[in-house]
Chains A and B, each alone.
Chain A
Amino acid sequence: MNSPADWLSPAEWDAVRLSLKVAFWATLLSLPLGIATAYALARGRFWGREWLNGLVHLPLILPPVVTGYLLLLGFGPKGPFGAPLETLGLGVAFRWTGAALAAAIMGFPLMVRAIRLSIEAVDRNLEEASATLGAPPIWVFLTVTLPLSLPGVLTGAILGFAKAMGEFGATITFVSNIPGQTQTLPSAIYAFLQIPGGESSALRLVGISIAVAMGALLASELLARRLSARLNGLDA
Chain B
Amino acid sequence: MSLTVALNHAFAGFTLSARFDAPPGITALFGRSGSGKSTILKSVAGLLRPDHGQIRLNDHLLFDSARAHCLPPHRRRLGVIFQEDRLFPHLSVGQNLRYGAWITGQGMERQARAQIIEMLGLGPLLRRRPGGLSGGERQRVAIGRALLGQPEMILADEPLSALDEARKAEILPYFERLRDELHIPILYVSHAPAEIARLATTVVALQDGQVLRQGPAREVLADPSVTPAGVRAAGAVLQAVLTGHDPQDGLSLLDAQGLRLFVPRVRAAPGTPIRLRIPAQDVMLSLSAPEGISAHNIVPARVQQIRPGEGPGALVTLETQAGVLLARVTRRAVRKLDLREGMQVYGIVKAISLAPEDVGAPKASRSGL
Contacts and interface: CB of A to CB of B under 8 A. Distances in A.
Interface of A: 123, 125-126, 128-137, 139-140, 143-144, 147-148, 230-236
A231 B89 contact: yes
Interface residues of B, number: 31
A140 B75 CA distance: 13
Contact of B103 (A134, A232, A234, A235): A134
Contacts of B104: 134
B128 interface: yes
A118 to B, nearest CB: 13
Nearest to A231: B90
Given A133-B145, A134-B104, A147-B90, A125 B84 contact: yes
A125 B86 CA distance: 7
Contacts of A133: 74, 99-100, 103, 145-146, 149
B16 interface: no
A89 to B, nearest CB: 44
Given A129-B88, A133-B103, A134-B75, 13 more contacts: A123-B86, A129-B86, A131-B47, A132-B46, A132-B47, A132-B76, A132-B78, A136-B74, A147-B90, A148-B89, A148-B90, A233-B89, A233-B129
A207 to B, nearest CB: 39
A133 B79 CA distance: 7
B292 to A, nearest CB: 58
Given A129-B82, A133-B99, A135-B103, A232 B89 contact: yes
Contacts of B47: 128, 131-132
B49 to A, nearest CB: 14
A235 B129 CA distance: 5
11 contacts: A129-B88, A132-B47, A133-B146, A133-B149, A134-B103, A143-B103, A147-B90, A232-B89, A233-B89, A233-B90, A233-B129
Contacts of A136: 72, 74
B244 interface: no
A73 B74 CA distance: 47
B78 A230 contact: no
Contact of A139 (B45, B103, B129): B103
A168 to B, nearest CB: 39
Contact of A235 (B76, B78, B132): B132
Given A132-B73, A139-B103, A233 B86 contact: no
Contacts of B75: 134
Contacts of A137: 74
Contacts of B146: 133
A130 B47 CA distance: 12
Given A148-B89, A233-B90, A131 B72 contact: yes
Contacts of B347: none
Q: Which residue among B72, B90, B145, B146 has the maximum number of chain A CB atoms within 10 Å of its CB?
A: B90
Nearest 3 CB-CB pairings of A with B: A233-B131, A233-B89, A129-B86
Given A129-B82, A129-B86, A143-B103, A233 B149 contact: no
Given A129-B82, A144-B88, A134 B129 contact: no
Given A126-B88, A144-B88, A148-B89, A132 B74 contact: yes
Contact of B90 (A131, A140, A230): A230
B87 interface: yes
A29 B149 CA distance: 37
Interface string B45-89: 111000000000000000000000000111111111010101111
B130 A233 contact: yes
Contacts of B103: 130, 133-135, 139, 143
